[in-house]
Amino acid sequence: MSIRVIFLGTSAAVPTANRSLPAVLIQRGNEQIMFDCGEGVQRQMIRAKAGLHKKTKIFITHMHGDHILGLPGLLQTMALMDRTKPVDVYAPPGLARFLDCMHETLQFQLTFEVNVFEVTNSGTICDEEEYRVDANQSNHAITSFAYAFIEKPRAGRFYPEKAKAIGVPKGDAWGKLQHGQEYIFPATGQIVKPIDVAGPLRQGRKIVYTGDTRPFDGFAAFAADADLVIHEATFDDSLLERAKADGHSTPSEAATEAKASNAKSLVLTHVSARYSDTSLLLEQAKKIFANVVVAEDFFELELPLSE
């Protein structure tokens, strides 16, 4: 199953002619996972041909308007399209009250459930069969969390010739072993372990999204060995003092974090409206971490399954 990451919005604080407000969409099978939900996100989804009816989870890093104001519009558009599947929203405290106010004052009816999970501590906040999402408190002007999407390891590659040689019957027994379970011969009680007929577990993919933040202690461990780190880089290196004052990062800082975490790739986003040309940001990051790009709206990348 391939993973497609789509940058729906890449601007900081205010939209520009070319950049919408922060939102990153991870598409995995029939499911969509969104990090942050900037204004106009539903139109960006329509332009990116991302479905509005798919199983969806939304993770909000913090309650600044540029990261959250897309949610009411998105939910309302979904309702007008008769969505029926629930939407799960994870966010720091305040989200439930924000949505209650919207419902009360705008009086729009939803056609589906919105399940709100308020994030108050670092740790695993969502645990599904094939993946989990961890939160880690970051360092911004208000309570803010970075998120890590982490796939669980998959069973190793199955070798039919090995199963045949041991005499494991085809069918259910093979299926069990392929899914990482033991098979026991009913007559003799002999146990066949997955490792007897398959290769080692295959690592899942890991994507880390910082939201707005200064570099913080513990990030390298949180993002360790990530396939992709999506790091904010609001200001270029020459505006370090401004970045410090506002709780943001520079390209050099983002690149240093990616390097320290041994990430495979880095995408910079949440770009200040002052940069119509981002080559300076890229140049500064590249000096420290080679495999980096600065996202534009609708920039996409694929993360293939590891073998």
Catalytic annotation, residues: 66
Q: Which residue has the tokens 């080559």?
A: 279
Among 36, 66, 253, 257, binds Zn ion (CB under 5 A): 66
Per CB under 5 A, which region of 47-55, 56-64, 161-169, 271-279 contacts Zn ion? 56-64
Minimum distance, C-beta of residue 257 to Zn ion, in the bound complex (Å): 17
| Residue number with CB closer to Zn ion (25 or 163) | 25
Minimum distance, C-beta of residue 66 to Zn ion, in the bound complex (Å): 4
Using rule CB under 5 A, residue 64 touches Zn ion: yes
| Residue number with CB closer to Zn ion (15 or 194) | 15
Minimum distance, C-beta of residue 247 to Zn ion, in the bound complex (Å): 7
Q: Which residue has the tokens 């993919």?
A: 205
- Sign for the pseudo-dihedral over CA of 119, 120, 122, 127: negative
Pair of tokens at residue 105? 């004052």
Per CB under 5 A, which region of 2-10, 66-74, 218-226, 284-292 contacts Zn ion? 66-74
End-to-end CA separation in angstroms for the chain:
12
Using rule CB under 5 A, residue 39 touches Zn ion: no
The maximal CA–CA distance of the chain, rounded, in angstroms, is 74
Count Cα atoms within 13 angstroms, Cβ side, for 183.
22
Using rule CB under 5 A, residue 36 touches Zn ion: no
CB 22 within 8 A of CB 269: yes
Residue 2 DSSP class? -
CB 62 within 8 A of CB 137: no
| Residue number with CB closer to Zn ion (48 or 63) | 63
| Residue number with CB closer to Zn ion (98 or 174) | 98
Q: Which of 262, 265, 235 is nearest to 251 (CA)?
A: 235
Q: Which of 127, 125, 107 is nearest to 116 (CA)?
A: 125
Using CB atoms within 10 A of its CB, is residue 38 exposed (0-12), middle (13-18) or buried (19+)? buried
Minimum distance, C-beta of residue 140 to Zn ion, in the bound complex (Å): 6
Q: Binding pattern to Zn ion, positions 185-224, x when CB under 5 A?
A: ---------------------------x------------
| Residue number with CB closer to Zn ion (19 or 64) | 64
Task: Tell me the number of residues near Zn ion by CB under 5 A.
Answer: 3
Residues lying near Zn ion in the complex (CB under 5 A) are found at: 64, 66, 212
